[in-house]
Structure 1
């Protein structure tokens, strides 16, 4: 310390710096809004919310509108999105068998009959969407009703948790839906009843052992198709003169195999490896007296290819995919599988993982939603003893309906005629009237 300002040249002791006294933390004071000057936020509420705009969702909205039921309607993509994924493929049935009379009536009476798909022909997914579903959205009953780009993320009972006690006569209140829309906008809405028609094609099953993703599967997703792409058309370049693996034994796998075999006739460098889990030389199970002749023809053709090893295709039954190895861009994917007790590997350019589809349980996780364990059958919510309409367990959430393909869980036997009957039953219960 300098003595320049100390005339006696003596050092003065330095005074300790005094710290400011710390005040004890105070809890925040709640601010009460002046009820006279504040308008409470009102959440949207309707008698019914419909989730999904595939064939069953559109028909449900049409019936609700005709019955003058107040409803909201949400679709995370566009109308008929899943039909667009297989728009190039056949419906395997004449169009007149997969549309409804009330739908045709609305289209015709509003002057759009000339744009209808040919009802006598076997149609395609694209024709079904463009020549029927999209037309219905232009009719006065449905115009402006659908909110696209809005996904239902979760649902619960308003002001209740799933674990809260419930008495048999306790009023349950409406359902609360958590929605996410364009630009990640979030909102809650309330509905007295909900019809879930979100389907299963958005949750394909992975290709690894035990129904789990194979190690490396996620790293190779840009090389994997979980739906049948347009092999003979728009996607030909992906597969022509390439080594392609197909995993699965359903009608989707049979369709991919048949189309790849056809393409290989003109592209002889194409090579296909077909893996199925069941140890059967006839991999695709055929339906006895299948009413859809086109579907049965594809199954028979694929089984013939498996037995005869035709069309540049090698077939391996009793195979499980162990792992995938991403070897880098522009390099093939290494697939390692077990066949019997033997490990086998291939290097492939593209993979079709066609192992089936399953319903997502995420939407219902805060509801008391029972599921049948083996086939993932949800409670449909409808009061019917017909197993065709109500294949799953009894509901514990009155007013929540699961209709369409999702109601059949992992099973693939659902048809549109069943869905139309499910809709009539659900609407009757919503209106508390007897089905017509």
Structure 2
């Protein structure tokens, strides 16, 4: 894209990666406009502000954002500490969004409903690469407006599109009508949503660290609320992957989680049901009946869907995308992040060339760029947007020089459903640990679960 273009560049999403994209564009002399569906920056992370990350602060800060914050008197956090989601917002994202350079370009309560080329649907070719984009946005109050922009960076994450509870990638029969019995993917069991779980039969579905977090928190709640019955359903034949590597785990905080959950299962505090592929949810007057494909049935008052996330591609329907058929990431990135073969520590650094689509000057970044794969890191996303900003500014040489040093992280790969940026349960660990940590935790490294992995990222 010609850096002299007078049109702004749309950034979809004001999470960590979206805000970093805006800062890198500003450093390149380009004009961003940021559309955030929520009421504030980091709105998706706000849903799991009670969760602590696996990764320390030093992996969660973007260098360009820090350069913008430093002259303002901003106090950087202790780089070896493990932040909660709320701290990620309060100590980093909120101060960044409040800066005039960002705040004046941030539109909150602005949900992007479609992206296309001005006057062209995806079937038209002539002049496509030089035609501006139209970003259709539903603003607060229901007003819908079209915004004309020179390029689009989609950093909207995956928090809004969780995987279904059913098998084969489909919702279980009756899942849509049981929504009143299904919680959010990372409920605040010990805080804001405590009353929804006290004295209830709670079924947690999934084998990733979102499930692990929730189960451990439910066990804590059960100490004060003895009427709780905690059920855990996993599709696999065992829960070993959810328990992780224990003392051998490259991420100590994560290893502690798995060991704690194993002890809760062995003590009978958590009732584990393996090989439980959900086929049907039947809404009854007082609860929901959850039936497995083999005929087994569990009765629950609340179901927690720790089943992972997938990208919402509907808003991009009129764009020419080239996506990996398995993980729904950009086609060149897909084989590099397939969770069956790669972990967050083995995915090579990548930038604009790998993220490019046939649609010129359009990029998906952050957790959404990883599609259904769970191994996304905030640090990876920051390098993505640095490269993309350079490419949009016409500096292809800088865009092509991608660097990202990540330490080894033990059993970070194929962990049955958790992003490397997945939130961790509360722990007092404050050690210098590896790479892992909305949504986008995600989530942001985000939480994931049952089938392939998470969050989102963030």
TM value normalised by structure 2: 0.77
Is residue 48–residue 194 contact of structure 1 (8 Å, CA) maintained in 2? yes
For the residues of structure 1 that align with 2:249 and 2:151, how far apart are their CA atoms?
A: 36
1:141-156 paired onto structure 2 within 5 Å: 141-156=101-116
Is residue 242–residue 271 contact of structure 1 (8 Å, CA) maintained in 2? yes
For 1:298, the equivalent position in structure 2 comes to: 257
Pairing 1:130–2:90 present: yes
Per-residue Cα deviation, 1:80-126 (whole angstroms, up to 9, x for no partner): 0111111001012222321123323332311332xx54444211000
Q: Which has the larger radius of gyration?
A: 1
For the residues of structure 2 that align with 1:162 and 1:112, how far apart are their CA atoms?
A: 45
Pairing 1:252–2:214 present: no
For 2:287, the equivalent position in structure 1 comes to: 332
Gaps of 5+ in 1: 1-43
Aligned partner (choices 37, 58, 61) of residue 76 of structure 1: 37
In the TM superposition, residue 165 of structure 1 has moved relative to its aligned partner by 4.1
Is residue 371–residue 392 contact of structure 1 (8 Å, CA) maintained in 2? no
Question: Is the alpha carbon distance of 1:96 and 1:161 closer, same or farther for their aligned partners in structure 2, counting shifts above 3 Å?
Answer: same
* RMSD of equivalent CA atoms: 2.6
For 2:70, the equivalent position in structure 1 comes to: 108
Specify the SS of the correspondent of 2:98: coil
Is residue 330–residue 369 contact of structure 2 (8 Å, CA) maintained in 1? yes
User: Which segment drifts farther, 196-205 or 61-70?
Assistant: 61-70
For the residues of structure 2 that align with 1:104 and 1:314, how far apart are their CA atoms?
A: 45
Per-residue Cα deviation, 1:273-292 (whole angstroms, up to 9, x for no partner): 11111112414173797553
User: Which segment drifts farther, 257-266 or 402-411?
Assistant: 257-266
For the residues of structure 2 that align with 1:138 and 1:223, how far apart are their CA atoms?
A: 37
For the residues of structure 2 that align with 1:388 and 1:271, how far apart are their CA atoms?
A: 44
Question: Is the alpha carbon distance of 1:95 and 1:233 closer, same or farther for their aligned partners in structure 2, counting shifts above 3 Å?
Answer: same
1:221-370 paired onto structure 2 within 5 Å: 221-284=179-242, 286=244, 291-306=250-265, 308=266, 310-328=267-285, 331-338=286-293, 341=294, 343-370=295-322
Is residue 203–residue 300 contact of structure 2 (8 Å, CA) maintained in 1? yes
User: Which segment drifts farther, 99-108 or 282-291?
Assistant: 282-291
For the residues of structure 1 that align with 2:332 and 2:155, how far apart are their CA atoms?
A: 11
For 2:325, the equivalent position in structure 1 comes to: 373
Pairing 1:86–2:48 present: yes
For 1:19, the equivalent position in structure 2 comes to: none
For 2:124, the equivalent position in structure 1 comes to: 164
TM value normalised by structure 1: 0.81
In the TM superposition, residue 231 of structure 1 has moved relative to its aligned partner by 1.2
For the residues of structure 2 that align with 1:354 and 1:207, how far apart are their CA atoms?
A: 9
Is residue 355–residue 364 contact of structure 2 (8 Å, CA) maintained in 1? no
Gaps of 5+ in 2: 338-346, 402-458
For the residues of structure 2 that align with 1:174 and 1:380, how far apart are their CA atoms?
A: 25
For the residues of structure 2 that align with 1:432 and 1:316, how far apart are their CA atoms?
A: 55
For 1:401, the equivalent position in structure 2 comes to: 363
For 1:65, the equivalent position in structure 2 comes to: 26
Per-residue Cα deviation, 1:376-434 (whole angstroms, up to 9, x for no partner): 213589xx998542697862111101110001111111001111110111011001112
Specify the SS of the correspondent of 1:258: helix
Question: Is the alpha carbon distance of 1:195 and 1:393 closer, same or farther for their aligned partners in structure 2, counting shifts above 3 Å?
Answer: closer
For 1:412, the equivalent position in structure 2 comes to: 374
User: Which stretches of structure 1, 4 residues or longer, exceed 4 Å deviation after superposition?
Assistant: 287-291, 384-388, 390-394
Specify the SS of the correspondent of 2:224: coil
For the residues of structure 2 that align with 1:104 and 1:192, how far apart are their CA atoms?
A: 27
